[in-house]
Chain A
């Protein structure tokens, strides 16, 4: 192998600094969340304790953390399932040109770039004026879908752009019905990408503030609860909460990476199942 050019070391150093910039702050609050009971929001650490984590688990100590966490979890799952199903359907539809498909595509791009505050305010007003009312499981759900669906659909575009139609044609030639082609050929092939769409759907919902802020109704989601806490909580309990919710997100990402690599490895090992039939 030829020796590495000098630019490699310069760029490598730049990349290392970028990593420090990305992860440094998160690591800092992870350390400070173990601040002693006398300690404050900044260094030095005055002892090491679990005081601030314990405070999170005490009732009424700081806001409605666990209630909002439960709502965020439920909402995240609702958004995730809807995003996966609707994105797959739309992705299939967009494989062929149909009257209105260009308009619908630009609407999807629009959904991504339209300022979040407009979506939030517009939905809030609409449901307020029509008397239906705002509720996290209704209006916040819809508002978050305008953010997660474009990501899901763009991923489906990327997937179907690389999709080899020969597999479907083969199945159809063998007499498979449209549903069988979808369930036994397309779905297994796009499954790893769907895990990715699901991750987008859940985490984008779980962390969303801008589109949710005016439409959550009378009860907060977790990010909104944290957003409210930033103005009146001035103890490391905020860091403890941040550390926990970051750990939660990282666990999800790790699970997804694990799932996808397992699927791929198993496929590589099993090779083609051609000729084995459907059992």
Chain B
């Protein structure tokens, strides 16, 4: 068996080396830097808790962490409901495998295109003179263009749903396709209504797909700074932007302390989710 282990280790070496240099060491450095001292122009090695004390004493930071969690919760709920509905339609209402695959492909194709371009694409629709406002005004429904369509928390949320619903659709569809159809027939024979089949048979059996999708969405939204900055026109704050603003001001120790708190928060949430599902078995 020793030789087998040696073989496995050799095969895993490139992965281990890459993750050590580009993941473990950088994260360890951030943890170290979070204890360093900074002044206006530079920062130097130290061991003090000032950065954390400042972070936890800042009402702004608390508020921003709260807002980030709130946005994550809203986006999670929306992507889950939309993603589940789409996957359910594809898996149980489209009758031929060929059409299932064609429509599934159609939902996944935007994933392969640029996120930033997909965000820019909302400007002509949601802008002050955009298509939505033009239509509403010419229909006589409003007199003044609606200002909060673009560069607002609404547009940030919309963009998240636009970009990340796919991460729900794919794993949920995948688990739904593996549900044994005879279970559904059995439920129907026993007199269950379509809705009862959905809530009592399909939903519990889709739990693992829902969990995997949720892990993706939560991780992506909690740590985002690109989407929030662009879609809010730099008006909305979240934890990622707090960090990137500090980096912009070369306040690395402060950025590192915020990063460590964000990392622990994300890992705790994802860790809790991983207890519910065994990813390795579900692939």
**Which residues of A are at the interface with B, using a C-beta cutoff of 8 A?**
1, 4-5, 7-8, 11-12, 14-15, 18-19, 21-26, 28-29, 32, 41-43, 85-86, 89-90, 92-94, 96, 98-101, 104-105, 107-119, 121-123, 125-126, 129, 142-143, 145-146, 149, 153-154, 157-158, 161, 199, 203, 206-207, 209-210, 213-214, 223, 226-227, 230, 238-239, 242, 245-246, 249-250, 252-253, 257
Q: Are A239 and B120 in contact (CB under 8 A)?
A: yes
- For the complex, give the distance between the alpha carbons of A175 and B85 in Å: 52
What is the distance, in angstroms, from A16's C-beta to the closest C-beta of chain B?
A: 10
Question: Number of B residues contacting the other chain (C-beta, 8 Å)?
Answer: 84
Residue from the list B18, B93, B266 in contact with A113, Cβ < 8 A: B266
Question: Secondary structure of the B side of the interface?
Answer: helix
Residue pairs across A and B with CB atoms within 8 Å: the count is 252
Q: Which residue of A lies closest to B22 (CB)?
A: A142
User: Can you list 28 A-B contacts (CB < 8 A)?
Assistant: A11-B85, A14-B85, A15-B103, A19-B107, A89-B11, A89-B14, A93-B8, A98-B8, A100-B12, A104-B12, A107-B24, A109-B270, A112-B216, A117-B223, A117-B225, A117-B240, A119-B23, A121-B26, A121-B252, A122-B27, A125-B252, A129-B29, A142-B22, A161-B283, A207-B113, A238-B120, A250-B109, A252-B112
Q: Are B11 and A230 in contact (CB under 8 A)?
A: no
What is the distance, in angstroms, from B103's C-beta to the closest C-beta of chain A?
A: 7
Q: Are B114 and A125 in contact (CB under 8 A)?
A: no
What is the distance, in angstroms, from A53's C-beta to the closest C-beta of chain B?
A: 15
**Which residues of B are at the interface with A, using a C-beta cutoff of 8 A?**
4-5, 7-12, 14-16, 18-19, 21-27, 29-30, 33, 82, 85-86, 88-90, 93, 95, 103, 105-107, 109-110, 112-118, 120-125, 127, 129-131, 134, 162, 165, 194, 215-216, 219, 222-226, 230, 240, 243-244, 247, 252, 255-256, 259, 262-263, 266-267, 270, 274, 279-280, 283
- Set of chain A residues within 8 Å of B12, measured between Cβ atoms: 89-90, 93-94, 98, 100-101, 104
Q: Are A85 and B14 in contact (CB under 8 A)?
A: yes
- Set of chain B residues within 8 Å of A117, measured between Cβ atoms: 223, 225, 240, 243-244, 247, 259
Residue from the list A108, A122, A257 in contact with B26, Cβ < 8 A: A122
- Set of chain A residues within 8 Å of B103, measured between Cβ atoms: 15
- For the complex, give the distance between the alpha carbons of A121 and B226 in Å: 14
Q: Which residue of B lies closest to A202 (CB)?
A: B112
- For the complex, give the distance between the alpha carbons of A245 and B121 in Å: 13
Q: Which residue of A lies closest to B14 (CB)?
A: A86
Residue from the list A93, A223, A242 in contact with B11, Cβ < 8 A: A93
What is the distance, in angstroms, from B258's C-beta to the closest C-beta of chain A?
A: 10
Q: Which residue of A lies closest to B218 (CB)?
A: A113
Q: Which residue of B lies closest to A247 (CB)?
A: B113
Q: Which of B14, B93, B105, B113 has the most CB of A within 10 A?
A: B113
- What 20 new A-B contacts, CB under 8 Å, besides A98-B9, A123-B22? A11-B88, A22-B107, A22-B162, A32-B124, A41-B123, A41-B127, A98-B4, A111-B23, A115-B223, A117-B259, A119-B22, A121-B252, A122-B27, A123-B26, A126-B25, A142-B18, A199-B112, A226-B114, A245-B117, A250-B113
